[in-house]
Amino acid sequence: MIVAWKHAARKRTDVPTLPFWSYMSLNRLHTQSDRFVDTYGREILLRGVNLGGDSKVPYPNGGTHHHTDFSDHREVSFVGRPFPLQDADAHLARIRRWGFNCLRLITTWEAIEHAGPGQYDDDYLTYFAEVCRKAGEHGLYVFIDFHQDAWSRMSGGDGAPGWAFEAVGLDYRAFDAADAAHVMQHRFRFADGNPRQPGYPQMSWPLNYRLPANAIMWTLFWAGRALTPDFRIQGQNVQDYLQGRFFDAVDQVARRVCALPHVIGVDILNEPGLGWLGQPLSAPDGPRLPGPVVTPLAALSIARGIPTEVPVVAFGTTPDHSQSGSSHLLNAAGRSIWFPDAACPFERAGIYRLQDGALVPLAEDAFKTMSGRALDLSEDVFSPFFAEAAARVRRHREDWLLMAQMDPTGALAGRAFPTGMPAQSVNASHWYDLALLFGKTFDPNASVDFLTGERADSTAALRERYTRQLAMLKAAAKGFPGGAPTLIGEFGIPYDLDNGQAYVEWAAGKRDVFGAHTQALELMYESLDALLLSATQWNYTAGNRNDLRIGDQWNQEDFSIYSADQADDPSDPYAGGRAVAGFARPYAAAVQGRLVSMQFDRRSGTFHVELAADAMVQAPTELVLPAAQFPHGATISVDGPVLRYEEDMATGSARVWASASGTVRIECRRK
């Protein structure tokens, strides 16, 4: 039977007074094989956004476009990230109106415990819990992301509090002079009007993973017990101390939000680094990416205050960028980053010795072995960490999901998750088009894969590449006991393409400026749809600016789907959005049975869904039909055993009740 239901067309000009999608019950979720399932038994697809990019830095003037020497790191506040509470409803309503049903809500260890060990910022924790609560009022699921990049703000990223360096014996004040960290607040010439500067190139912050400040901390965090068994802080091995303090901070957040049913779990640690684990001590290893090639021994030498010459790989044309480069002297100032009364724990453990002003390697495979055998990063590093994470958060709520990701290098290399992942875990790996990410330009007819050198010469070929790469990430969940859903925790595009050309055109009065961005996002979402993947796009930053110096207020990244500089029409509920047509798309948010396929053609405004209905599930299929794609509503056609269906233009949705089990096909066509 094919029936069509017509709704009188009307143009919506007001903003709903009730929270968007307030009718939708956000009941708790669990995993069932490769699906998210709610308490009704419906399959749930999560399509959301990361909130927000500037939550990595203190409020209000903590962005990396502000100079700082970090001397106030114990007194900072993150209250106001991702936005002040008085602005929360406006931002959350906008996110919901665009059709998202989920937030990956960002916090950091520093935000929770910046003042010192065990000194928790109660004002921030109260504020953060209130943001979580308000998200539920707007019909948004939430999972908490404990975010980090390159360990800490003092080492060029975000995450850990400054006192963690001090506890280990590192003086963050020496990092810049010693070339131990590549930090925008030190390397960027703020008095220079040029937003693009050789001293701080675009997307250069990942260099920190090779440099001593970051690498020392990650190595001790993951393997202090094995590598430096005698290094103790307050009676604990350094690994137990660092991980214990981190998990205690996680506890502080968990206990404040565990009663909120729409908070479905935690993403325990964003894109963790590995330090030197898996590397030989004194020989280069792994992909030769652009920039300085710093072996662990060279990094330890730099940390000791020894000027150290290292090779530099130029950005080449080969897939591994192995074009010969030059060399560069690091730590020419000869500045040690260890406090005068601190000894290098790796020297004390016999991994190297200092002789005649140079480091002599003593244990070449120290970072590649554990307990006398080859180190297994998945089983020896991540398995016990995920187990402890699950135990910690489930003290507060036993049904919480554990969103798990490993280091980005492992994801690129296809490293498997641990074999014994905790129950109710989720594959929350990240995915980006690296050529787009680093090249900051988009041409689907001439796109070269950053890792393989494969060339796509059409939109169809690029879409196929995206789908293939995402399918490989999805396949990683098959190794979880019983299988697991995949939720792509981060994906997205930089909006400052072509040196911010869209911003120049916007400032000149043009409004249709995000064509390339829309096309790139469309291809990504089409691949997500083909694989029926949940995903949270990176990101929504309330403090974003159309300014190449600022962007998302962190290291000149500019991925936000919203910018206050574009919110120039108070009467427009979509004001501030960038490339809205690329991400505000229809999808099947809840399915009365099993989702089989889903496809949207933006140009024709046609959305197709096929599902295997299960009459035992006593709740309807719910479709998201954002007004950005269906401004006058949709003509809906249904084929299959359907009892009734309805469209709700005020909420941008439709609901379909199956009367019996069987195949149901739904077509929604833009009026």
- Summarize pLDDT for 94-133 with one digit per residue, the tens: 999 999 999 999 999 999 999 999 999 999 999 999 999 9
pLDDT at site 228: 98
How far is CA 14 from its chain centroid? Answer: 33
Residue 628 is predicted with a pLDDT of: 95
Instruction: Name the nearest CA neighbour of 219 among 344, 60, 405.
Output: 344
CA–CA distance, 388 with 242 (Å, rounded to integer):
14
Rg from Cα positions in the chain: 25
Calpha distance 136→24 (Å, rounded): 10
- Are residues 642 and 657 in contact, defined by beta-carbon separation less than 8 angstroms? yes
- Do the beta carbons of residue 578 and residue 495 sit within 8 Å? yes
> Once rounded to an integer, what is the mean pLDDT over residues 194-213?
94
Estimate the crossing angle of helix 122-137 against helix 238-257, to 10 degrees: 50
pLDDT for 572 equals 83
Average pLDDT of the chain to the nearest whole number: 93
- What lies within 8 Å, CB to CB, of 643 at 6+ separation is 657, 658, 659
**Residue 154 structure tokens:** 């003092």
**How confident is the model at residue 291, as a pLDDT?**
84
The answer for residues whose C-beta is within 8 angstroms of residue 378's C-beta and 6 or more apart is 406, 410, 415, 416, 417, 418, 419
| Type of residue numbered 387 | A
Flag whether pLDDT at 319 surpasses 50. Answer: no
Convert 483-500 to b/e letters by CB count within 10 Å (16 or more is b): ebbbbbbbbbbbbbbeeb
CA distance readout (Å), 313 to 285, 307, 328 = 13, 19, 10
Q: In this prediction, what percent of the chain has a pLDDT beyond 90? A: 88
Model confidence, pTM: 0.95
Task: Give the least confident one: 89-93, 527-531, 570-574.
Answer: 570-574
Distance CA 145, CA 554 (A): 17
Short-list 213, 74, 78, CA closest to 553: 78
Alpha helix (H) residue ranges in 60-194: 88-97, 109-113, 122-137, 163-168, 184-187
Contact residues for 203 (Cβ-Cβ < 8 A; gap 6+): 437, 438, 557
How large is the average pLDDT for residues 133-141? 97
Q: Indicate whether 1 pLDDT > 50.
A: no
- Between CA 587 and CA 600 the distance in angstroms is 8
Structure tokens at 459: 């939109």
| pLDDT at residue 76 tops 60 | yes
C-alpha closest to that of 139 among 658, 541, 652, 490 = 652
Q: How confident is the model at residue 570 (pLDDT cuts 50, 70, 90)?
A: confident
d(CA 234, CA 255): 26
Q: Which of 229-238, 284-293, 336-345, 421-430 has the lowest mean pLDDT?
A: 284-293
Query: Of 122-131, 323-332, 480-489, 554-563, which range is least confident?
Result: 323-332
What is the average per-residue pLDDT within 51-57? 97
DSSP characters over 137-168: HTT-EEEEEE--BSSBGGGTSBSB-THHHHHH
Q: How far apart are CA 27 and CA 139, in angstroms?
A: 10
Is pLDDT of 439 > 60?
yes
Element (H, E) at 608: strand 606-613
Average pLDDT over residues 362-384: 96
- Residue 315 pLDDT > 70: no
Whether 207 and 292 have beta carbons less than 8 Å apart is answered as yes
What pLDDT was estimated at residue 344? 98
Whether residue 505 is predicted with pLDDT greater than 50 in this model: the reply is: yes
pLDDT of residue 323: 54
Q: Give the count of beta carbons closer than 10 Å to the beta carbon of residue 171.
A: 18
* CATH architecture for the domain at 2-18+586-670: Sandwich (2.60)
Rounded distance between C-alpha atoms, residue 635 and residue 81, angstroms: 41
What are the boundaries of each domain within the chain? Answer: 2-18+586-670, 45-281+371-583
**CA-CA distance, 242 to 262, in Å (whole number)?**
30
CA distance 173 to 424: 42
Look at residue 2 in the predicted model and tell me its pLDDT: 33
Task: For domain 45-281+371-583, give the fold.
Answer: TIM Barrel (3.20.20)
Count Cβ atoms below 10 Å from residue 503 Cβ, excluding itself. Answer: 22
Which pLDDT belongs to residue 23?
Answer: 34
Residues 628-640 pLDDT 10s? 999 999 999 999 9
